[in-house]
Amino acid sequence: MTARPAGPLVGVFALQGDVAEHERVLAGLGARVRPVRSAADLEGLAGLVLPGGESSVMDKLSRLLGVAPALRQAIDAGLPVYGTCAGMIMLAETIANPIVGQRSLGGLDITVQRNAFGAQVDSFETWLDVPQVSREPVHAVFIRAPAVLRASGEVQVLASVPASRLESGRTAGGEVPVAVRQGHLLATSFHPEVTGDWSFHRYFLERMVSPSGS
């Protein structure tokens, strides 16, 4: 019997957040998964996921434990990275409303607003048309989610929601980006790891992590 080829080795930043949920989805799609808690854990990875959670806590722990510089170095070196919710905030070059002392890893040329859609009680679900990612609408869950306030011309907007959803702009017109890609970096405001919709993880693995990805 011919052995099944090993899937790509993908790390999940594991100091805080929805670690197990992402690990389960990635493994279900055939990837080998490694929790990342130190700089050494980044060695040999084909991709990395920054999960949802508390962005300020993730930032503080990554710097306290000395992982942040290695993460930024990996981003600068071209490692494919997918950030969800808090992970989007970690990847953003600018945070519009950080808590005192909060930093981001950067790499993704966007400005984000933390908790842009309101508090936990304002969480909502919707379906998004994301033709670059899936032929079918994508089920998205927003929980204290960030929003993209600014995106450079190099950033590809994959999905948006009405700006009226924003806590600070209930009557605003237009749309606000909630899924973006810039080269080897992908980010979503929402939590695909909790919905059973694996479209974005599959896109990340097949189009960005694999050698044949675009």
How does pLDDT run across 81-136, given as a tens digit for each residue? 999 999 999 999 999 999 999 999 999 999 999 999 987 777 899 999 999 999 99
Partners of 185 in the beta sheet? 81, 182
**Of the candidates 98, 5, 110, which has an alpha carbon nearest to the alpha carbon of residue 56?**
98
pLDDT of residue 169: 57
Residue 212 is predicted with a pLDDT of: 55
- Residue 213 pLDDT grade (very low, low, confident, very high; cuts 50, 70, 90): very low
What local confidence, expressed as pLDDT, does residue 3 receive?
Answer: 47
Task: Give the mean model confidence (pLDDT) for residues 123-150.
Answer: 94
The pLDDT tens digits of the residues spanning 178-212 come to 999 999 999 999 999 988 899 999 999 999 998 55
Q: What is the pLDDT of residue 40?
A: 96
The answer to whether residue 206 is catalytic is no
Residues 85, 125, 154, 167: which is the catalytic one?
A: 85
Q: Of all residues in the chain, what percent carry a pLDDT higher than 70?
A: 93
Q: Quick one: three-class SS letters along 132-186?
A: CCCCCCEEEEECCCCEEEEECCCCEEEEEEEHHHCCCCCCCCCEEEEEEEECCEE
Look up the pTM and report it. 0.93
**Please, which residues bridge with residue 140 across strands?**
126
Catalytic residue among 21, 23, 191, 201: 191
21, 22, 23, 193: which one is catalytic?
193
Q: Which CATH number is associated with domain 9-209? A: 3.40.50.880
Per the annotation, the verdict on 85 as an active-site residue is yes
* Residue in 129, 134, 144, 139 with CA at minimum distance from that of residue 189: 144
